[in-house]
Structure 1
Amino acid sequence: MAAAMTRMLQLLLITTLIHVARGKVRVQITNMIGYKDDMNITCQSSDDDLGQHVLSYGQSMEWKFKPNFSKTTLFHCNARWCDVMRRIDFGAYEYMKDHYGCGSDCRWMFTIDGVYAYDSKTDSWDFRFSWYS
Protein backbone atom coordinates (compact mmCIF):
# COMPACT_ATOMS: atom_id res chain seq x y z
CA MET A 1 0.00 0.00 0.00
CA ALA A 2 2.77 2.46 0.95
CA ALA A 3 4.73 1.55 -2.18
CA ALA A 4 1.68 2.22 -4.37
CA MET A 5 1.10 5.58 -2.69
CA THR A 6 4.78 6.52 -3.12
CA ARG A 7 4.61 5.55 -6.81
CA MET A 8 1.46 7.65 -7.31
CA LEU A 9 3.12 10.67 -5.69
CA GLN A 10 6.20 10.19 -7.88
CA LEU A 11 4.04 10.08 -11.03
CA LEU A 12 2.15 13.19 -9.94
CA LEU A 13 5.42 15.04 -9.33
CA ILE A 14 6.86 13.96 -12.69
CA THR A 15 3.67 14.98 -14.51
CA THR A 16 3.72 18.38 -12.81
CA LEU A 17 7.39 18.93 -13.64
CA ILE A 18 6.83 18.02 -17.31
CA HIS A 19 3.88 20.43 -17.49
CA VAL A 20 5.89 23.26 -15.95
CA ALA A 21 8.93 22.54 -18.15
CA ARG A 22 6.87 22.63 -21.36
CA GLY A 23 4.48 25.44 -20.43
CA LYS A 24 5.87 28.62 -21.94
CA VAL A 25 3.66 31.69 -21.77
CA ARG A 26 3.70 34.52 -24.31
CA VAL A 27 2.62 38.03 -23.30
CA GLN A 28 2.07 40.62 -26.03
CA ILE A 29 1.29 44.33 -25.55
CA THR A 30 0.23 46.45 -28.55
CA ASN A 31 -0.12 50.23 -28.90
CA MET A 32 -3.30 51.15 -30.80
CA ILE A 33 -3.75 54.54 -29.10
CA GLY A 34 -3.31 56.84 -32.07
CA TYR A 35 -1.09 57.51 -35.08
CA LYS A 36 0.94 60.21 -33.36
CA ASP A 37 0.98 58.77 -29.84
CA ASP A 38 3.96 56.77 -28.67
CA MET A 39 3.47 54.67 -25.56
CA ASN A 40 6.24 54.17 -23.00
CA ILE A 41 6.08 50.89 -21.13
CA THR A 42 8.23 49.11 -18.55
CA CYS A 43 7.56 45.58 -17.34
CA GLN A 44 9.22 43.41 -14.74
CA SER A 45 8.86 40.40 -12.51
CA SER A 46 10.79 39.61 -9.36
CA ASP A 47 13.34 37.81 -11.57
CA ASP A 48 13.33 39.77 -14.85
CA ASP A 49 13.38 43.48 -15.70
CA LEU A 50 12.36 43.85 -19.35
CA GLY A 51 13.44 47.49 -19.46
CA GLN A 52 11.69 50.47 -21.01
CA HIS A 53 10.15 50.22 -24.47
CA VAL A 54 8.70 52.94 -26.67
CA LEU A 55 5.93 51.62 -28.90
CA SER A 56 4.68 53.63 -31.87
CA TYR A 57 1.15 53.12 -33.17
CA GLY A 58 0.64 49.50 -34.21
CA GLN A 59 3.87 48.26 -32.61
CA SER A 60 3.99 45.46 -30.07
CA MET A 61 6.38 44.14 -27.50
CA GLU A 62 6.27 40.55 -26.36
CA TRP A 63 8.15 38.15 -24.19
CA LYS A 64 8.02 34.46 -23.36
CA PHE A 65 8.73 32.78 -20.07
CA LYS A 66 8.03 29.69 -18.03
CA PRO A 67 5.91 30.24 -14.90
CA ASN A 68 7.73 29.24 -11.74
CA PHE A 69 7.00 25.97 -9.98
CA SER A 70 5.40 27.68 -6.98
CA LYS A 71 2.78 29.33 -9.25
CA THR A 72 3.59 32.86 -8.08
CA THR A 73 4.83 34.33 -11.38
CA LEU A 74 3.79 37.97 -11.74
CA PHE A 75 4.78 40.48 -14.42
CA HIS A 76 3.85 44.05 -13.51
CA CYS A 77 3.87 46.84 -16.10
CA ASN A 78 3.67 50.61 -16.08
CA ALA A 79 2.44 52.27 -19.29
CA ARG A 80 2.10 55.95 -20.11
CA TRP A 81 1.43 58.22 -23.07
CA CYS A 82 1.06 61.97 -23.56
CA ASP A 83 4.11 62.30 -21.31
CA VAL A 84 2.65 61.58 -17.86
CA MET A 85 -0.91 62.69 -18.61
CA ARG A 86 -2.17 59.11 -19.00
CA ARG A 87 -0.70 56.32 -16.91
CA ILE A 88 -1.69 52.75 -15.99
CA ASP A 89 -0.04 50.29 -13.63
CA PHE A 90 -1.28 46.75 -14.19
CA GLY A 91 -0.48 43.08 -13.86
CA ALA A 92 0.34 41.86 -17.37
CA TYR A 93 0.53 38.28 -16.10
CA GLU A 94 -0.40 36.76 -12.76
CA TYR A 95 -0.30 32.98 -12.66
CA MET A 96 -3.30 32.38 -10.40
CA LYS A 97 -5.50 34.63 -12.57
CA ASP A 98 -4.10 34.19 -16.05
CA HIS A 99 -3.12 30.51 -16.17
CA TYR A 100 -6.79 29.65 -16.57
CA GLY A 101 -7.75 32.99 -18.15
CA CYS A 102 -5.51 33.64 -21.14
CA GLY A 103 -3.54 30.43 -20.74
CA SER A 104 -0.28 30.50 -22.67
CA ASP A 105 -1.17 33.45 -24.95
CA CYS A 106 -1.89 36.69 -23.08
CA ARG A 107 -2.51 39.72 -25.30
CA TRP A 108 -3.14 43.33 -24.28
CA MET A 109 -4.23 46.17 -26.57
CA PHE A 110 -3.92 49.81 -25.52
CA THR A 111 -6.40 52.22 -27.15
CA ILE A 112 -7.46 55.83 -26.61
CA ASP A 113 -10.27 54.54 -24.33
CA GLY A 114 -8.15 52.24 -22.21
CA VAL A 115 -6.81 48.71 -22.14
CA TYR A 116 -8.34 45.56 -23.61
CA ALA A 117 -7.39 41.91 -23.04
CA TYR A 118 -7.89 39.20 -25.64
CA ASP A 119 -10.22 36.34 -24.71
CA SER A 120 -9.38 33.32 -26.88
CA LYS A 121 -12.47 31.44 -25.71
CA THR A 122 -14.82 34.02 -27.26
CA ASP A 123 -12.33 35.37 -29.84
CA SER A 124 -12.98 38.92 -28.63
CA TRP A 125 -11.31 41.84 -26.88
CA ASP A 126 -12.64 42.58 -23.38
CA PHE A 127 -12.34 46.07 -21.85
CA ARG A 128 -10.23 45.96 -18.65
CA PHE A 129 -8.96 49.41 -17.58
CA SER A 130 -9.62 53.05 -18.34
CA TRP A 131 -6.90 55.66 -18.63
CA TYR A 132 -9.22 58.00 -16.78
CA SER A 133 -9.63 56.23 -13.45
Structure 2
Amino acid sequence: MSSFGRRVLIQWVFMVVLLSLAENGISVDLHVEVTNALDGDFDLTVYCKNIDPTQHILHYSDSYQWDFSGNFSSTKPPFLCYFKWGELQVHTYNLVVPIWDFECKKHCQWFIREDGPCNKYYSTKLVCFPWN
Protein backbone atom coordinates (compact mmCIF):
# COMPACT_ATOMS: atom_id res chain seq x y z
CA MET A 1 0.00 0.00 0.00
CA SER A 2 1.33 3.45 -0.86
CA SER A 3 2.22 5.93 1.89
CA PHE A 4 -0.73 8.08 0.81
CA GLY A 5 -3.05 5.07 1.06
CA ARG A 6 -1.72 4.24 4.52
CA ARG A 7 -2.25 7.82 5.68
CA VAL A 8 -5.82 7.82 4.37
CA LEU A 9 -6.53 4.47 6.05
CA ILE A 10 -4.98 5.58 9.34
CA GLN A 11 -6.88 8.88 9.22
CA TRP A 12 -10.10 6.98 8.59
CA VAL A 13 -9.46 4.70 11.58
CA PHE A 14 -8.62 7.66 13.79
CA MET A 15 -11.69 9.53 12.59
CA VAL A 16 -13.82 6.55 13.69
CA VAL A 17 -12.14 6.77 17.10
CA LEU A 18 -12.64 10.53 17.08
CA LEU A 19 -16.34 10.09 16.35
CA SER A 20 -16.64 7.73 19.29
CA LEU A 21 -14.98 10.33 21.53
CA ALA A 22 -17.10 13.18 20.17
CA GLU A 23 -19.59 12.98 23.02
CA ASN A 24 -16.92 14.12 25.46
CA GLY A 25 -14.92 16.13 22.94
CA ILE A 26 -11.17 16.41 22.73
CA SER A 27 -9.77 19.43 24.50
CA VAL A 28 -6.72 21.04 22.88
CA ASP A 29 -4.69 24.24 22.86
CA LEU A 30 -3.40 25.04 19.37
CA HIS A 31 -1.60 27.73 17.46
CA VAL A 32 -2.16 27.24 13.70
CA GLU A 33 -0.33 29.34 11.11
CA VAL A 34 -0.92 29.44 7.34
CA THR A 35 1.58 30.96 4.88
CA ASN A 36 0.96 31.75 1.21
CA ALA A 37 3.63 29.77 -0.66
CA LEU A 38 1.91 29.83 -4.07
CA ASP A 39 4.12 30.26 -7.12
CA GLY A 40 3.59 33.43 -9.07
CA ASP A 41 1.80 36.56 -8.01
CA PHE A 42 -1.32 34.95 -6.51
CA ASP A 43 -3.11 36.22 -3.45
CA LEU A 44 -4.48 33.43 -1.27
CA THR A 45 -7.88 33.70 0.40
CA VAL A 46 -8.18 31.56 3.55
CA TYR A 47 -11.48 30.87 5.24
CA CYS A 48 -11.96 28.55 8.23
CA LYS A 49 -15.64 29.14 8.97
CA ASN A 50 -15.81 26.99 12.12
CA ILE A 51 -13.18 29.06 13.94
CA ASP A 52 -13.28 32.47 12.27
CA PRO A 53 -16.06 33.98 10.13
CA THR A 54 -13.58 36.24 8.30
CA GLN A 55 -11.96 35.57 4.93
CA HIS A 56 -8.27 36.46 5.12
CA ILE A 57 -6.35 37.54 2.00
CA LEU A 58 -2.65 36.71 2.09
CA HIS A 59 -0.13 38.09 -0.40
CA TYR A 60 2.83 35.89 -1.32
CA SER A 61 4.81 34.86 1.81
CA ASP A 62 2.28 36.53 4.15
CA SER A 63 0.94 34.49 7.06
CA TYR A 64 -2.14 34.41 9.22
CA GLN A 65 -2.50 32.58 12.50
CA TRP A 66 -5.24 31.40 14.81
CA ASP A 67 -5.09 30.42 18.46
CA PHE A 68 -7.61 27.79 19.50
CA SER A 69 -8.37 26.49 22.96
CA GLY A 70 -11.28 24.19 23.55
CA ASN A 71 -12.97 21.03 22.41
CA PHE A 72 -12.85 19.61 18.91
CA SER A 73 -16.13 18.41 17.51
CA SER A 74 -16.37 15.66 14.91
CA THR A 75 -19.25 17.51 13.26
CA LYS A 76 -17.63 20.96 13.28
CA PRO A 77 -13.83 20.68 12.95
CA PRO A 78 -12.42 24.17 13.59
CA PHE A 79 -9.61 23.94 11.05
CA LEU A 80 -11.54 22.63 8.07
CA CYS A 81 -10.45 25.49 5.81
CA TYR A 82 -11.15 26.72 2.31
CA PHE A 83 -8.35 28.07 0.12
CA LYS A 84 -8.90 30.12 -3.03
CA TRP A 85 -6.59 31.75 -5.56
CA GLY A 86 -6.87 32.72 -9.19
CA GLU A 87 -10.16 32.30 -11.03
CA LEU A 88 -11.00 28.63 -10.51
CA GLN A 89 -8.74 27.31 -7.77
CA VAL A 90 -10.79 26.47 -4.67
CA HIS A 91 -9.69 23.70 -2.30
CA THR A 92 -10.43 22.45 1.21
CA TYR A 93 -8.23 20.81 3.79
CA ASN A 94 -8.60 19.94 7.46
CA LEU A 95 -5.42 21.45 8.88
CA VAL A 96 -5.67 19.71 12.25
CA VAL A 97 -7.01 16.26 13.13
CA PRO A 98 -6.18 16.10 16.85
CA ILE A 99 -5.74 12.33 17.13
CA TRP A 100 -3.59 12.13 13.99
CA ASP A 101 -1.55 15.32 14.00
CA PHE A 102 0.87 14.57 16.82
CA GLU A 103 3.37 17.17 15.59
CA CYS A 104 0.69 19.86 15.57
CA LYS A 105 -0.38 19.59 19.18
CA LYS A 106 0.88 23.07 20.08
CA HIS A 107 2.10 24.89 16.95
CA CYS A 108 1.11 23.81 13.49
CA GLN A 109 2.64 25.72 10.58
CA TRP A 110 1.27 25.19 7.05
CA PHE A 111 2.66 26.41 3.71
CA ILE A 112 -0.04 26.53 1.03
CA ARG A 113 1.13 25.49 -2.44
CA GLU A 114 -0.71 24.75 -5.66
CA ASP A 115 -0.44 20.97 -5.25
CA GLY A 116 -1.56 21.00 -1.61
CA PRO A 117 -0.75 22.15 1.90
CA CYS A 118 2.71 21.44 3.30
CA ASN A 119 3.71 21.11 6.93
CA LYS A 120 7.01 20.86 8.75
CA TYR A 121 6.50 17.41 10.20
CA TYR A 122 9.36 15.73 12.01
CA SER A 123 10.98 19.09 12.86
CA THR A 124 12.62 20.19 9.63
CA LYS A 125 11.31 18.04 6.77
CA LEU A 126 8.61 19.73 4.70
CA VAL A 127 5.89 17.19 3.85
CA CYS A 128 3.11 18.04 1.38
CA PHE A 129 -0.34 16.49 1.13
CA PRO A 130 -2.89 16.42 -1.69
CA TRP A 131 -5.99 18.56 -1.44
CA ASN A 132 -9.20 16.92 -0.18
Consecutive unaligned residues of structure 2, counting only runs of 5 or more, are 1-26
Superposition deviation, residue 87 in structure 1: 1.7
Mapped partners of 1:39, 1:94: distance in 2: 23
Mapped partners of 2:38, 2:94: distance in 1: 19
The answer for the alignment partner of 2:44 in structure 1 is: 39
Mapped partners of 2:105, 2:81: distance in 1: 19
Which is higher, the Rg of structure 1 or of structure 2? Answer: 1
Q: Check if 1:81 corresponds to 2:85.
A: yes
Mapped partners of 1:93, 1:125: distance in 2: 16
| Correspondent of 1:51 among 32, 51, 54 | 54
List per-residue Cα deviations over 1:20-46 (Å, max 9, x = no partner): 5xx53110110011341101110132x
Normalised by the length of structure 2, the TM-score is 0.67
Task: Report the secondary structure of 2:130's partner residue.
Answer: strand
Check 1:123–1:67 CA distance in 2 against 1; reply closer, same or farther (3 A cut): farther
